[in-house]
Structure 1
Amino acid sequence: MADWSPARYLQFSDERSRSFRDLVTRLAELLAARDVTPSDVVDLGCGPGHLTEVLRSHWPDTTVTGIDSSPAMIERAREHDRRTTYVEGDIADFAAGRLDVTGADVVVSNAALQWVPEHRDLLPLLRDRARQALAFQVPGNHDAPSHLLLREVAAREPYASALGAPVTRRATDDPVGYADLLAAPGWAVDVWETTYTHVLAGPDPVLRWISATGAQPTLHALEEADPALRARFEKDYGAALREAYPERPYGTPLAFRRVFAIASRT
Structure 2
Amino acid sequence: MVDVDEFIPDAKAEIAAELGDDTAIIALSGGVDSSTAAALAYEAVGEQLVPVYVDTGLMRKGETEEIREVFGYMDSLRIVDAADRFLGALEGVTDPEEKRKVIGEQFIREFETVARETDADYLVQGTIYPDRIESEGNIKSHHNVGGLPDAVDFEGIVEPLRDLYKDEVRSVARELGLEEVISERMPFPGPGLAVRVVGEVTREKVRVAREATHIVEDELEEYEPWQAFAAVLGKATGVKGDNRVHGHVVAVRSVESRDGMTARAQELDWETLQRLQSRITGTVEDVSRVVYDVTHKPPATIEYE
* TM-score bracket for this pair, using the shorter chain length: 0.3 to 0.5
Bigger relative CO (Cα 8 Å, ≥ 6 apart): 1
TM-score (norm 2): 0.37
TM-score by length of 1: 0.41
